[in-house]
Chain A
């Protein structure tokens, strides 16, 4: 269109435009037609934007006419607006509602100062790692202290404890965990006995498998397996449950109603795990030993009767006590860590996910740390020389 008057039609599907030139190319008019809306534009948005850019570059003084448009939605308007360089062209014909739409765009553009406001997370990330760890530690200690106080209060007036919650928690964290703990314990017992039996056989010391298995399982493996399974199974559930209560403002509602979180949410769960985990420890230990008995019979030809008799002779009963005590402590630790991360959840879904992950990781770590403390504290007890 260098000279004379003429018309060029262009378009993509429903969205079309016509370029008219008059007076030897001095006056150019662009008339839009068709439907400039999402359904028509979305698939070919890049081509249309490129074409419009070229059109504006070639005819910067063109007059635009949008009055014939059957439809113009926000996407269409933004496309044009960007092609025009974020302002209305000098010569343009609009219908009133189109004018209002572009006025809105101009207003939105005018107030666009710091559109890229820093996301809320960044400020949280800037908070130093050390301070976060410290604040978690402080909260954990406070929660533990609160638990002790609540326990004292309940001891004075047992009716204050939500017994129904407690029994439900015992059922969920205990009874329903029996199959998985038994399965895991049994398999670990089989594998452990099989591997160590092979080694002992080389020294002709087959029968010491019972000593080895007995002390490790009852004192170490049983409590650890039970605690780790409970942390993964029940700890995560506790954190998620309390975290969702934060999301739903149930925690706020409880506060407002004067129901203490400590007494209603934390204490029943802590007590439930304190009751349940030692029982699971006993159950898991028995299952692990059963696996050991089976492997010993198959691998070493040691009968079940011999195994049990030798276990009775070589295993000091104190070890069972230590195992159960560990169970109580591990249960309390897992419950407190899980409740802590549940209560610390901020009211958004991403925070909930982080809380549950942190709850499981931290509670397993804490359990292993506590186990190390037990190993040192009870180093002289229950071990025959």
Chain B
């Protein structure tokens, strides 16, 4: 198997621009195999855009994003398909297909491989749903008929349908009440132990970070302000880090200071 220091995901000197606005500037990040990395930052710090870059949904203005050693911007369709079969994504809004039932939503990535028997696919999908605690009575339900917490679980089941080596979670607990959020974090931890994937969590929730993450990267002013084990980073006295770990909302106007810093 791979050594412990293998780099699964690498971002090198990434720059993202929308028109004249620079979201990321000279951002570098490495994710090692098997670790759980949380990317945190205040709202507007470019977390979601960073995730879109990591998933190849956005093209870098400069720099590169490589997943499993494949540069997403230059890879051909076959190479991209190979990468996409090895990762799973839980979107913040779920991204569930509203025309399909829960089971079919989870079965879809398996069916898309186009080489598995349907009976087998249904068994695997049912297993994934039971892993996230969704019973067979909900298998036929459409996303609009599921509660928010259940839809999130189905989304997670779909994200792990292919037993991904790399799992992206975008704000996994956003919009869930604290009890539900805690149980969802518990579920994530169980699954992380069971499937042992590399996990990248984008979040603004401190509790999620402390419960799940091995390392934490603080995103501020369009670059990584600090990265390291959670306890170490929490002890730093960088203002961006402190703003997050003080569990208080970032001071108003932090976006302006970001622009000011980026300008110099």
Contact = CB atoms under 8 A, between A and B. Distances in A.
To the question of whether A and B form a pair in one complex, the answer is yes
Interface of A: 37-39, 42-43, 45-46, 49, 70, 73-75, 77-79, 81-82, 97, 100-101, 104-105, 107-108, 111-120, 247, 346-350
Given A107-B130, A115-B139, A348-B143, 15 more contacts: A73-B163, A74-B128, A78-B124, A108-B126, A108-B130, A113-B136, A116-B140, A117-B139, A117-B141, A119-B101, A247-B98, A348-B99, A348-B144, A349-B97, A350-B99
B235 interface: no
Contacts of B129: 108
B1 interface: yes
Contact of B127 (A45, A78, A100, A113): A78
A97 to B, nearest CB: 7
Contacts, number: 94
Contact of B123 (A82, A107, A111): A82
> Which of A81, A108, A247 has the most chain B CB atoms closer than 10 A to its own CB?
A108
A75 B130 contact: no
Contacts of B85: 38-39
Nearest to A120: B142
Interface residues of B, number: 38
A42 B115 contact: yes
15 contacts: A42-B113, A42-B116, A45-B115, A75-B116, A79-B120, A108-B130, A112-B136, A116-B140, A117-B136, A117-B140, A117-B141, A120-B141, A120-B145, A348-B144, A349-B98
Interface in B114-158: 115-117, 119-120, 122-124, 126-131, 135-137, 139-145
B93 to A, nearest CB: 10
A237 B220 CA distance: 41
B163 A37 contact: yes
Interface in B82-120: 85-86, 97-99, 101, 103, 110, 113, 115-117, 119-120
Nearest to A122: B140
Nearest to B103: A115
Nearest to A113: B136
Contact of A115 (B97, B126, B128, B131): B126
B169 interface: no
Nearest to A353: B99
A346 B110 CA distance: 28
Closest 10 CB pairs of A and B: A117-B140, A348-B98, A73-B163, A108-B130, A350-B99, A347-B144, A78-B123, A115-B136, A349-B98, A78-B124
Contacts of B145: 120
Interface string B149-184: 000000000000011000000000000000000000
Interface in B239-264: none
B190 to A, nearest CB: 10
B98 A118 contact: no
Given A75-B124, A350-B98, A111 B131 contact: no
Interface of B: 1, 85-86, 97-99, 101, 103, 110, 113, 115-117, 119-120, 122-124, 126-131, 135-137, 139-145, 162-163, 194-195
Chain A contact residues: over half helix, strand or loop, or mixed? Answer: helix
Nearest to B163: A73
B128 A49 contact: no
B136 A346 contact: no
Contacts of B140: 116-120
Nearest to B160: A74
Contacts of A42: 113, 115-116
Contact of A112 (B86, B124, B126): B126
Contacts of B194: 97, 100-101
Contact of A104 (B98, B101, B130): B130
Nearest to B137: A117
Contacts of B98: 247, 347-350
B145 to A, nearest CB: 6
Contact of A114 (B101, B115, B137, B163): B137
A35 B159 CA distance: 21
B80 to A, nearest CB: 16
A346 B144 contact: yes
B132 to A, nearest CB: 11
Contacts of A112: 126, 136
B119 to A, nearest CB: 8
A45 B124 contact: no
A46 B118 CA distance: 11
